[in-house]
Amino acid sequence: MVGVHLRVRDAKPEDALRLSELYNQLVNNPAVNVEPEQIQAIYNDSRSKLFVCDYQANVVGSALVSLCPDVMFSNQPFAVVENVIVDIAARGVGVGTALFKAIETFCVSTNCSKIMLLSSSQRLDSHVFFEKQGFKGEVKRGFVKYRSAFISAD
């Protein structure tokens, strides 16, 4: 969209409250708890980036990308993208595309072999968007096992 000014940057601890609001749009879970200290820890970690996108002086989107070491392709890591969210009021202005451009730039700079992400099976609009970003939903199948299913009662 012409005239739209978007700025993608690393998240800062002072973004915690706004990120919490965005994540509550993504999931309906009272356990969502964004801590400024964790944002700082991610900022300090060269293998992870928590990106936010500013639009009209507000954080309107975010995505987390983390590098995973791998042995299959020499020293090339692969990347996992999680918690992609664009504020409902800011969809359609290029926020998600700007976030994925930043993710790809980070992944190129770190010599990643691939970028992976999971999306809830019912988020069909998101799947269309991810495919427009070049992700292939039919190539692999994702599986998730949540903490509640792997905690053992010794």
Supply the pLDDT for residue 97: 97
Supply the pLDDT for residue 1: 43
Supply the pLDDT for residue 153: 56
For the entire predicted model, the pTM comes to 0.91
Supply the pLDDT for residue 57: 87
Supply the pLDDT for residue 71: 92
- In order of 20, 50, 118, the CA distances from 47 in angstroms are 23, 10, 19
Q: Which phi-psi region, left, alpha or beta, contains residue 48 (left: φ > 0; alpha: ψ -120 to 50)?
A: beta
Q: Catalogue all structural domains in the chain, each as residue range(s) with its CATH number.
A: 6-150 (3.40.630.30)
Q: The tokens of 102 are what? A: 């930043």
Q: Using CA atoms, how far apart are residues 148 and 138, in angstroms rounded to an integer?
A: 28
Sites in the chain below the pLDDT cut of 70: 1-3, 152-154
Over the Cα atoms of the chain, what is R_g?
16
Supply the pLDDT for residue 44: 98
